[in-house]
Amino acid sequence: MTISPSPLPLDFLHQHYPSATEQQWNDWHWQIKHSITSLEQLQKIIHLSDKEIQPISRLPIRITPYYASLMAKDNASQAIRRCVVPTADELMVSPGESADPLSEKHDSPVPNIVHRYPDRVLFLVTGFCSTYCRYCTRSHAVAKDQCHTHTSGWQQGFEYIKAHPQIRDVLISGGDALTMSDARIEFLLSNLRQIPHVEIIRIGTKVPAVLPQRITQTLLDVLKSYHPLWMSLHFTHPDEITPEVAQACTQLANAGVPLGSQTVLLKGINDEVTTMKNLVHALLKIRVRPYYLYQCDPILGSTHFRTPVTKGLEIIKGLRGFTSGYAIPHYVIDAPNGGGKIPLLPEYYIGREDNQVILENYEGKIFTYADSV
């Protein structure tokens, strides 16, 4: 099953990779092999601004040719470009920022496992991503070989899960697990499926957004063998929802994989109600349920990405009642120091008066509800 390239990526292919064929462009291995990994390569594709032209070392550059084809050549403030092109702002460290703001290392009883919630664990299986987001929560670990990524290095993780029968849910992340080979993915899933108390398996990935060519029939056949299997996809902006991405998500949904989206709220990128509404509507059309809207984690050098919390509440208020409930994600802060996800909502519950609950609806109108005591 081939992901058909749309006109914009095809033009990019002919301009920047004239010796490559469409068949090569559609090969996810080719995409990774030819990814942009330096400022010198970026300069051949876009006109770098003064902030972009300064070298950054905190997180390496990696952008698939496909995703690079979506970047604006002359607009440094374009959403997709800002998500993946480093700037000098990343070197500015503000109070409250840290390398591991969620304290995942503290909750890691064995290598590759983070056990924060009673009935589920995070299984970090690779440190590699096909595209590195500049606001990545794990920028301290990805691309730095800190995961025991050989299959033998996963054994402690399997054994830990086996030894804790309360674990019913395993979230696979990294890095990005879908950058691994089909054989490694199948090895991972088959070992987890052999543990009787593991009820569901989830995969967290941005691959469908940045490398839709990875969603091959062979991969789909592997995934279909290990249901119930869910996917948490990472989408940031409506411009990511291209025909290729729509095709990839449709194939995953047709394979019986429920799809949810996790979006990070980012200043100047998706922090407007209209932008977020366009994104969630586009996601529903390709059968991806908006699930989480994350307040940006305070990683080192992230001030230029983080909005006030009031902005997230404003967006939720601008969605609630003005679009279908399926389109409204949970706005959460993943609390620093291992506090876990804490949901935030606008104030719809005003209070009580005698046996009446006082409520405010999406239009700002006040209503009362007779509440039994």
Which residue among the candidates 81, 82, 116, 306 is catalytic per the annotation?
116
Clarify whether 138 is annotated catalytic.
Answer: yes
Which residue among the candidates 297, 306, 317, 331 is catalytic per the annotation?
297
Task: Please state whether 330 falls in left (phi above 0), alpha (psi between -120 and 50) or beta.
Answer: beta
Clarify whether 334 is annotated catalytic.
Answer: yes
Which residue among the candidates 83, 136, 147, 296 is catalytic per the annotation?
136
Is residue 183 helix, strand or coil?
Answer: helix
Alpha helices, DSSP H only, in the chain? 7-16, 22-25, 28-33, 39-43, 65-68, 79-84, 155-162, 182-193, 207-210, 217-224, 243-254, 273-285, 309-319
Tokens of 112: 């590759």
Q: Is 177 exposed, middle or buried (0-12, 13-18, 19+ CB in 10 A)?
A: buried
3-state helix, strand, coil in the chain (%, to 5): 35, 20, 45
CA atoms within 13 A of residue 225's CA, in its CB half-sphere: 18
- Bridge partners of 121, per DSSP, are 170
153 contacts 165 by C-beta, under 8 angstroms? no
Which residue among the candidates 168, 267, 289, 341 is catalytic per the annotation?
341
- Bridge partners of 320, per DSSP, are 323
Clarify whether 147 is annotated catalytic.
Answer: no
DSSP 8-state secondary structure symbol assigned to residue 61: -
Which residue among the candidates 62, 81, 82, 120 is catalytic per the annotation?
120
> Measuring CA to CA, how many Å separate 226 from each of 5, 200, 248, 259?
29, 9, 19, 15
Which residue among the candidates 83, 100, 133, 249 is catalytic per the annotation?
133
Clarify whether 120 is annotated catalytic.
Answer: yes
Tokens of 342: 């804490």
Is residue 262 helix, strand or coil?
Answer: strand
Indicate the residue type of 326. Y
Q: Which residue has the tokens 């969605």?
A: 319
Clarify whether 117 is annotated catalytic.
Answer: yes
**Nearest to 65, CA basis, from 25, 111, 103:** 25
Cα angle at 151 between 146 and 153, to 5 degrees?
Answer: 45
Which residue among the candidates 138, 202, 206, 306 is catalytic per the annotation?
138
Which residue among the candidates 27, 176, 271, 334 is catalytic per the annotation?
334
Which residue among the candidates 62, 66, 83, 129 is catalytic per the annotation?
129
For residues 342 and 253, give the distance between their C-alpha atoms in angstroms, rounded to a whole number.
29
Clarify whether 129 is annotated catalytic.
Answer: yes
Which residue among the candidates 117, 162, 291, 311 is catalytic per the annotation?
117
Residues labelled as active-site residues: 116-117, 120, 129, 133, 136, 138, 297, 334, 341
